[in-house]
Copies of this chain bind each other. A is one copy, B any other.
Amino acid sequence: MNHQESSVKHYRSSRQRKRLLELLCSTEIHPTASWLYDHLKKEFPNLSLGTIYRNLSILIDQGLVQKISASSSFDRFEAKTTPHHHLICTKCGKIIDFEEKVFPAINEEIRRSTDFDIEGYRIDFFGICRECQKKQYKSY
């Protein structure tokens, strides 16, 4: 959110948040809050789920992490790297990054024809992943 950069908020550092970010950077599975909690719990036995959520929102505010809401009942998170889109399996809910190319024509098109101040876009592709395709055949 560009319009918040003017009021830069300073956050005190914490080991929990440092490790949370490292964990997010080290995986590609787009974890849920509870997955992150389970993994860091081993390292911080007193860890609280509230700490996960609060730090995720701090990291999002810092632009280091982004939230993905993909029609499931719970949010997923990922460390922000390069812009990319998502392949979402409508069977099992799995989300896969789709780096591939950015489509520049979309940006031009959209800016021309709306009075929104567009910050970006995300393409979610819906379909059935390889594993679920196999399962479909088996179920007959």
Contacts and interface: CB of A to CB of B under 8 A. Distances in A.
Interface in A70-115: 70-72, 87, 89-90, 96, 98, 100-101, 103, 105-106, 109-110, 113-115
A129 to B, nearest CB: 6
A123 B126 contact: no
Contact of A103 (B3, B106, B116, B129): B106
A116 B125 contact: yes
Nearest to A116: B127
A69 interface: yes
Nearest to A99: B113
A115 B100 contact: no
> Which among A70, A113, A117, A130 has the highest number of chain B CB atoms within 10 Å?
A117
A30 to B, nearest CB: 14
A8 interface: no
A38 interface: no
